Amino acid sequence: FAFPAHARAAIYQTAILVGISRFLRFDPFYFWGLTQLIMAIQHLTFIAYEGKPCTSAFACLQRDIKSAIKESSAGSWRFELLDRPVPVDHSFFREVGSYRYVDGNNTLYLARVQKGVAFVVGTAALLNQKEFSLSEKVSHHHLRNLLYPGESVVVTANRNSEVEVVPFKNDSKDFLCLTRGHWRLVNLGLIESLLQRNINDPVIVSMVVEAARALSFLRYGTLILFPYDEMNLPAFAGMIDKSPLGEDLRKHIKGKFIGDLVGGGQFLNILSSDGMTIISRDGKIIDTGVIVSNQEMSPTQGGGGARTAAAKAASRYGVALKVSADGPVSVFLQEQLIYSTL
């Protein structure tokens, strides 16, 4: 290494990867094979095709395919075995077909670790990509329909050049994410538990968290307030759309249930239209597209941009969920940041 800092950076990244692989391994023989899969996906995030980030995914199975894959998934997925197993190394994604044919969105590789080495043994493809919404896909819901808990680890490279490592353990929705060289734990389960303080139905909570995750993936910002009291809300400075058409559309959105909006594909559009959306305990839209008044913002709040200041101000009236335009999802309560995926 030309400089000691380079050596320290390489050692740090290697140590983190070793720690992750040791934590996720099924048994001692899976350690290096799982490391190979993560390293191959990391390498893919540095590749672009026609100016766009390349994507793909591995499902590392603990046992043989028949034992690890749910029988009920046969109606949703098509499985194909390769003529011969292909070992995974740093050159696995060298050719275009390796990541264009299997892009990790609707298709993924099925991998097994044998004698410490990872081999791709087949592929799995969704039969009907419209069966799962974007929110369900980016929250890995469609993969939970494919794999048994505790039987696999999924490693993906997404369109934001991030590495996601998803351990399918019980009903956990948490996963590890490598963004700009830093690993972080995305604890969706913790976000759900925080929102359940103000939302009665866990199904509604799950819909909101999946929508927040989808907006984070799409790099759209939003702010959602779940008030303690619907009659006690922060002061508004105005609306994002004051036109007669905007007011009419907003009037028709108010009072609708989240479940109906999710089913009709409107929920993400509403949340991503800027301004703040207010949702009641029973999952109804109280208001949307509102701008929090500057009078609500304390001069001592400091730090962050306008959306962060608005989230802190709104959190005096309930639980505020903020999605930043650059990805992180944050929860605020009583003007304090409680959790962030940053």
Reply yes or no on whether the pLDDT at 301 is more than 70: no
pLDDT in tens, 82-114: 999 999 988 899 999 999 999 998 899 999 877
Reply yes or no on whether the pLDDT at 161 is more than 90: yes
**Token duo for residue 278:** 């207010």
Reply yes or no on whether the pLDDT at 80 is more than 70: yes
What DSSP assignment string belongs to 303-316?
SS-HHHHHHHHHTT
pTM across the whole model = 0.85
pLDDT in tens, 54-73: 999 998 887 667 777 777 67
* pLDDT band for position 30 (cuts 50, 70, 90): low
* pLDDT band for position 252 (cuts 50, 70, 90): very high
What's the rounded mean pLDDT across residues 300-323? 85
**Token duo for residue 120:** 């791709």
174, exposed or middle or buried, with CB in 10 Å at 0-12, 13-18, 19+? Answer: middle
**Token duo for residue 193:** 């538990």
110 neighbors 80 (Cβ within 8 angstroms)? no
98 neighbors 40 (Cβ within 8 angstroms)? no
Q: Which residue, 332, 257, 242, 233, is CA-closest to 289?
A: 242
Which uninterrupted H or E stretch holds 217?
A: helix 202-218
Reply yes or no on whether the pLDDT at 255 is more than 80: yes
